[in-house]
Amino acid sequence: MDGGEHEREPSDVGEIVDDADDRGDGRAMLPNRSTGKETPMHDDTNDNGRTDRRTYLKALGAGTTALAAFSGVGHAHGDGGDDEGPIPVENLALDNPLISGHEVHPVYGFSSQTARVAPPVEPDHEVQSLIRPRENVPIPEFYFEPTGLYVEPGDTVRFTMTTPHHNVVAYHPQFGFERRVPQLVPPFSGPLLPAGGYWLYTFEKPGVYEMNCAPHEYFGMVMRIVVGEASGPAAEPLPDLCATPAGGGDGGSDSGGAESDSGGGAGEGEGPELRHPEFAAYTVLSDPALDPDHIVEAGGVSWDELAAENKRLFLQPAGFPPCAE
């Protein structure tokens, strides 16, 4: 494949089969994206002597994508490479499904589904995504460690998925949140990743950033990063939810400015009402240990430094499992 354009990935297994060439001898040729050659698929015919498409679907559906991805990893070390060592990301094809590309994108960052792939840049800091059981509570703690972090502008942070099913999402108006990142910062986020994967993001603009893990936000999986200085919308405390409104929500005007500053440009009337962090996300980010000035002074704040009452659950399972009493 030429470097100018990338071949579009098939959207499903059926499309892979549709892309295969029928050679007229009962065999279909499957494109091998690792070698650039075509590989004959297994010859299996039905009672009419015709190739059974469902057989191809069954075989391919079991792991064509995974095999292609890890086949690329297996050959990425090059001659004399150590099969157990880190794999330079540039040795993998751009369309390898294990990685998001060869660079840290300003919106999508860089993601790898395996720690075996070396990052495109050496990270300056690491944050782990963790799960820890709670005593006598069915829902565990979901948290970033550290939960507060100070970095310099231009630093790259590695978010390591020590446990599965996490991502990183900015509190940004284009995601339906009140702005809790510096002005003009794009709506950045990473994909959900399995255990062992990681996501990189480079924080360029100074200010305070608040982020969440989308599946676990309400359980308190949020964090605050101060880049260079404690400035911007998130340098201000979250609103006091227990205070009596003094007439007219200033949050609405702030969010309006945030929407226009973020360059929404939808042009289709007013969007949904923006919200602040809720439930345990709100109490975690309101903990004094995560005050932006304290983060700057300390350099990092551990989850264990937060008060227990600010990590409590507000959502509890009810009526599950739905068994007859």
**Exposure of 244 by Cβ count < 10 A (0-12 exposed, 13-18 middle, 19+ buried)?**
exposed
Sketch the domain layout of the chain as residue ranges: 13-74, 99-238+273-311
CA separation, residue 319 to residues 104, 137, 227, 322, 323 (Å):
44, 15, 44, 6, 8
d(CA 83, CA 60): 26
- Specify the CATH superfamily of domain 99-238+273-311: Cupredoxins -  blue copper proteins (2.60.40.420)
For residues 155 and 121, the answer to whether their CB atoms sit within 8 Å is: no
Contacts of residue 14, Cβ cutoff 8 Å, sequence gap at least 6: 57
Q: What is the pLDDT along the chain (325 residues), one digit of tens a residue?
A: 444 444 444 443 333 323 334 444 444 443 444 444 444 444 444 444 444 544 444 433 434 444 445 555 555 554 444 567 899 999 999 999 999 999 999 999 999 999 999 999 999 999 999 999 999 889 999 999 999 999 999 999 999 999 999 999 999 999 999 999 999 999 999 999 999 999 999 999 999 999 999 999 999 999 999 999 999 999 999 999 998 776 655 544 444 344 444 444 443 446 789 999 999 999 999 999 999 999 999 999 999 999 999 999 999 888 888 987 6
Query: β-strand 137-145 against 155-160: which pairing, if any?
Result: unpaired
Q: Note if the bond before 153 is cis, omega within 30 degrees.
A: no
Q: Angle at CA 147, nearest 5°, toward 145 and 148?
A: 130
How far is C-alpha 85 from the geometric centre of its chain's CA atoms?
Answer: 25
